[in-house]
Amino acid sequence: MKKTKLVFVPSPGISHLISTVELSKRLTERDDQLSIFVLVISSPVGPDSESYTQEVAASNTSIQFINIPKADPNLPEALSSPENFYALYLESHRSHVKTAIIGQVLVSESITSLAGMVVDLFCSSMVDVANELGVPSYVFFTSGSAYLGFLFYLPIHYSQNGREFETSDSDSIIPTYSHPVPSKVIPSLAFNKHGGYSSFIKHATKFKETKGIIINTFAELEPHAVDRLKFDAETPPIYTVGPLLDLEGRKREPDHETIMKWLDDQPPSSVVFLCFGSMGSFEPDQLAEMALALERSGYRFLLSVRLSKVFTKGTGEHSNISEMLPQGFLERIENRGLVSSWAPQMEVLAHEAVGGFVSHCGWNSILESLWHGVPVATWPVYAEQQINAFELVRELELAMDLKMDYRMENAKNLVMAEEIEKAIRCLMDTENPTRKRVQEMKEMSRKAIENGGSSFISLGRLTEDMHINIGKEKGSF
């Protein structure tokens, strides 16, 4: 039986790829006539994702992966802005992406039509490829609705002020936030005068050229932001289809068994889990403050931590954890704490022993914590995490503020042990009213993806609209 094809172009990075795969699974479950190609671009830094894609391909025949040849752009002018470098690096793969679609997707005799291209939020330049092929394009936005509204605000701010953001700016009135947004939580990209700001203006502009924006959120989580986007005449149709989560997790890392066995031996809701994402890292003096706070608090804890890449010669890893922490710390906390450079976050949050989560506030981590009903203390480190933390604490009242304006690039601004300890005690307080709100959102997140739920309905609308849009584009295959 002939199928309709859909092409995904995620940006490099395992978290973006996992979200893409989970969305692909949902789409193929809803529409068995849909076959999906995921075009995999190599990361300019960090490990590849080949083992993960091989696992998925072996278990799901409706999802196929195509590895895109790596471009080797000369981008010295972009090095002062990681955001601009990333955008230009991905843009340099446009011809390879187009060649792969023509040569490996469209040649199949089992295809009656190409429903379109779904491009990751960082791959907005690939909208031009869809236009050249004459097929509809969609954006897959792997962060939240409020942050999408922030990106749409960037060109407005520039037109009003003629410049990037500055730390002295007064609070910003951004439609997708019900509270004024202070400059201290504005993402670092918005202050970057070397292409960071302008690259995201380009992204936001490209988003509005598409047939729709698919967002990894659910309506009940961000009602204000979702409503503002839906009723903005300039914004394409939005589809809130989350939470999109890999509930099985990854179990092949060497510390997996040790961590899970240790958790099995702890009382229910007794452990505070501290984890800062695959790129979150700290200098030794900040780790010392963190260790002191944990020791003083008296709580059981699981700490997944990395050192600064400067300290570890670029790897972010360290073979001897004892050298990362204050002398004698591991011996003193041996019976109530565990330290590792990696942790299976999804499984840890699902464990009954975990009662609180000190998080960097990456969007996937926020969704995972809410899915499992684990309250969060916010400690963002990079990217859009500061404004995510602001939304979680101020807008949604679903988290406690530890240090929502912390930035990894300003590592000299230490978070002191007293501040960390106070936040941990508040987080683990069983009478804290935030716990009840988090439990309520846990139930809403699960209902959203069930038959009749808000995300289930939105996903159905997306598949219907994709079929309607087939053939509308000039030159459509």
Residue 273 lies in a domain: yes
- Quote the tokens at residue 339: 């330290």
454 lies in the same domain as 369: no
Q: When comparing pLDDT for 477 and 274, which is higher?
A: 274
226 lies in the same domain as 264: no
pLDDT tens digits, one per residue of 257-287: 999 999 999 999 999 999 998 777 888 899 9
What average pLDDT does this structure show over 325-337?
A: 88
Residue 247 lies in a domain: no
Phi, psi of 208 (to 5 degrees): -80, -5
192 lies in the same domain as 330: no
397: left (phi over 0), alpha (psi -120 to 50) or beta: left
336 lies in the same domain as 197: no
How distant is the alpha carbon of residue 419 from its chain centre? 27
DSSP state for residue 326 in the 8-state scheme? -
Q: How far apart (Å, rounded) are the C-alpha atoms in residues 118 and 239?
A: 13
Closest CA to 54 of 33, 43, 40, 69: 40
Q: Which residues of 186-218 are buried (b: 16+ CB within 10 A; e: fewer)?
A: bbbbbebebbbbbbbbbbbebbeebbbbbbbbb
Residue 246 lies in a domain: no
Residue 24 lies in a domain: yes
Residue 441 lies in a domain: no
Residue 440 lies in a domain: no
397 lies in the same domain as 458: no
Boundaries of domain holding 300: 256-432
Q: What percent of the chain shows pLDDT beyond 90?
A: 72
- From residue 166, how far is each of 80, 81, 197, 368 by CA, in Å? 17, 16, 12, 33
82 lies in the same domain as 140: yes
422 lies in the same domain as 459: no
212 lies in the same domain as 361: no
**Among 12-16, 91-95, 287-291, 392-396, where is mean pLDDT lowest?**
12-16
285 lies in the same domain as 348: yes
pLDDT tens digits, one per residue of 217-257: 999 999 999 999 999 999 999 999 999 999 876 656 668 99
pLDDT tens digits, one per residue of 117-132: 999 999 999 999 999 9
pLDDT tens digits, one per residue of 400-434: 999 999 998 876 789 999 999 999 999 999 999 99
358 lies in the same domain as 308: yes
Residue 344 lies in a domain: yes
Q: Which residues contact 298 (CB under 8 A, 6 or more apart)?
A: none
412 lies in the same domain as 465: no
Note the pLDDT of residue 252: 61
Closest CA to 214 of 118, 123, 116: 118
pLDDT tens digits, one per residue of 146-199: 999 999 999 999 999 999 999 999 999 999 999 999 999 999 999 999 999 999
Contacts of range 162-165, beta carbons closer than 8 Å, 24 or more positions apart: 164/190, 164/191, 164/192, 164/193, 164/197, 165/190, 165/191, 165/197
Note the pLDDT of residue 311: 42
Q: How far apart (Å, rounded) are the C-alpha atoms in residues 381 and 248?
A: 26
pLDDT band at 313 (very low <50, low <70, confident <90, very high): very low
**Number of domains the chain is built from:** 2
Q: How far apart (Å, rounded) are the C-alpha atoms in residues 231 and 205?
A: 18
CA-derived radius of gyration, the chain? 22
pLDDT band at 78 (very low <50, low <70, confident <90, very high): low
Residue 443 lies in a domain: no
Question: Where residue 293 sits, what CATH number does that domain have?
Answer: 3.40.50.2000
Residue 377: its H or E element: strand 376-378
315 lies in the same domain as 206: no
pLDDT tens digits, one per residue of 360-381: 999 999 999 999 999 999 999 9
State pTM to two decimals. Answer: 0.94
Note the pLDDT of residue 57: 77
Q: How far apart (Å, rounded) are the C-alpha atoms in residues 387 and 321?
A: 31
